[in-house]
């Protein structure tokens, strides 16, 4: 994709300083930019690279004051990070449009799909499934029976979608994620053997959900495990049976959510956090990384720790905790002097 500076400025609503006819054909980091590339300056830590970068065009903030002249074209915008994200999206849309069904893929005769479907090699779609407009299914994907996938959804290689799952429109599911696997449920019989609890529910992903690579979303025992509109989930996240995750919540990598827990809207959950089962997490809750949540949390809370408590209380407690070794040494000296005395 080749763009001139004035065209870039039009896309991101920016103002050109320098040669508005200079062209770029790729995007790059400012510290490793080269001729013909476009970079952006969105973090003050990288300010010095503005003067040394070889990028042909650099996006900067409207209010940025130059220490010295630069020999490249600048485009000034309100927010360089957002502007660069817009450009990334623009470049992505101009990639080769995938279409057609690979001869090595398999679609059951009664599957309903549109002509613009893309289905890569060795992918499978089983009976009674429905695939919406402009669905892109990459290679080695398995889609079970009675699955519904909405318009413009992208499914990357190795994804497995079990029977009866419902996937909304504009979703992105990254490689090797599993949707609809059995929940982890067992009961002991009178002889002490583990008896499997059969899960007859399904998984529902609403519109604009994105799941990272190697996630697992277990189906409900009865009813549905539900990931609501706009939820974004990082790699290697486990969502257990009958969990409900509210709209626009974001979850970082390696989080585990146990069964039948409900998480509210617009929450932020840090990496490696663990959330116990049958809890109710309110709206706009922030759970710091590596926290362990064992009780329900009210809306608009920020929590941290093991077990997780109020973030400010944890910070105050940590000051004392990290000083505990020196405090114990002092106490030992006092006890020793009293004993000797």
Given this model, what pLDDT does residue 95 score? 67
CA separation for the pair 280, 292 (Å, rounded): 14
SS3 assignment, position 331 = helix
Looking at domain 100-314, does it have CATH number 2.160.10.10?
yes
Give how far Cα 183 sits from Cα of 149, 188, 252, 268, Å. 22, 16, 21, 24
Tell whether the torsion through CA atoms of 48, 51, 54 and 56 is positive or negative. Answer: positive
Q: Return the structure tokens found at 56.
A: 């042909």
Given this model, what pLDDT does residue 115 score? 84
Q: What residues are annotated to the active site?
A: 241
3-93 has which fold?
A: 3.40.1390
Q: How far apart are the first and last CA of the chain?
A: 84
Given this model, what pLDDT does residue 330 score? 87
Given this model, what pLDDT does residue 341 score? 64
Given this model, what pLDDT does residue 203 score? 98
> pLDDT per position in the chain (341 positions), as tens?
789 999 999 999 999 999 999 999 999 999 999 999 999 999 999 999 999 999 999 999 999 999 999 999 999 999 999 999 999 888 877 666 788 999 999 999 999 999 899 999 999 999 999 999 999 999 999 999 999 999 999 999 999 999 999 999 999 999 999 999 999 999 999 999 999 999 999 999 999 999 999 999 999 999 999 999 999 999 999 999 999 999 999 999 999 999 999 999 999 999 999 999 999 999 999 999 999 999 999 999 999 999 999 999 999 888 888 888 888 888 888 888 877 76
Verdict on whether the full-model pTM lies above 0.95: no
Q: What is the DSSP string of 282-310?
A: -TT-EE-TT-EE-S-B-TT-EEEETTEEE
Give how far Cα 297 sits from Cα of 123, 149, 191, 255, 272, Å. 42, 33, 38, 17, 18
Instruction: Outline which parts of the chain fall under CATH 2.160.10.10.
Output: 100-314
Q: Tell which residue, 306, 333, 336, has the closest CA to residue 321.
A: 306
Instruction: Outline which parts of the chain fall under CATH 3.40.1390.10.
Output: 3-93
């Amino acid at each position: 994709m080749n763009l001139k500076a004035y065209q870039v400025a039009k896309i991101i609503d920016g103002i050109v300083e320098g040669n508005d006819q200079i062209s770029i054909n790729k995007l790059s980091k400012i510290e490793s930019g080269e001729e013909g590339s476009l970079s952006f300056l969105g973090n003050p830590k990288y300010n010095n690279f503005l003067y040394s970068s070889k990028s042909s065009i650099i996006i900067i903030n409207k209010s940025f004051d130059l220490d010295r002249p630069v020999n490249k074209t600048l485009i000034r915008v309100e927010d360089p990070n957002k502007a660069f994200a817009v450009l990334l999206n623009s470049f992505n849309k101009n990639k080769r449009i995938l279409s057609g069904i690979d001869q090595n893929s398999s679609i059951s005769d009664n599957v309903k799909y549109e002509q613009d479907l893309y289905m890569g090699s060795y992918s499978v779609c089983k009976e009674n499934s429905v695939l919406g407009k402009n669905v892109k299914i990459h290679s080695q994907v398995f889609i079970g029976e009675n699955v519904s996938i909405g318009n413009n959804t992208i499914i990357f290689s190795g994804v497995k979608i079990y029977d009866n799952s419902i996937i909304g429109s504009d979703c992105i599911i990254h490689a090797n994620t599993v949707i609809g696997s059995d929940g982890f449920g067992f009961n002991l019989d009178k002889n002490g053997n583990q008896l499997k609890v059969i899960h007859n529910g399904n998984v529902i992903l609403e519109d604009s959900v994105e799941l990272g690579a190697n996630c697992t979303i277990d189906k409900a025992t009865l009813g549905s495990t539900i990931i609501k509109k706009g939820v974004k989930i990082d790699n290697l996240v486990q969502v257990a049976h009958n969990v409900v995750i509210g709209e626009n919540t974001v979850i970082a990598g390696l989080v585990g959510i146990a069964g039948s827990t409900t998480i509210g809207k617009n929450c932020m959950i840090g990496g490696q956090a663990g959330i116990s089962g049958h809890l109710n997490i309110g709206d706009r809750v922030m759970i710091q990384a590596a926290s362990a949540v064992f009780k329900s949390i009210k809306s608009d809370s920020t929590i941290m720790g093991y077990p997780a408590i109020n973030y400010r209380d944890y910070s105050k407690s940590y000051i004392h905790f990290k000083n505990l070794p020196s405090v114990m040494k002092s106490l030992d000296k006092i006890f020793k002097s009293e004993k000797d005395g």
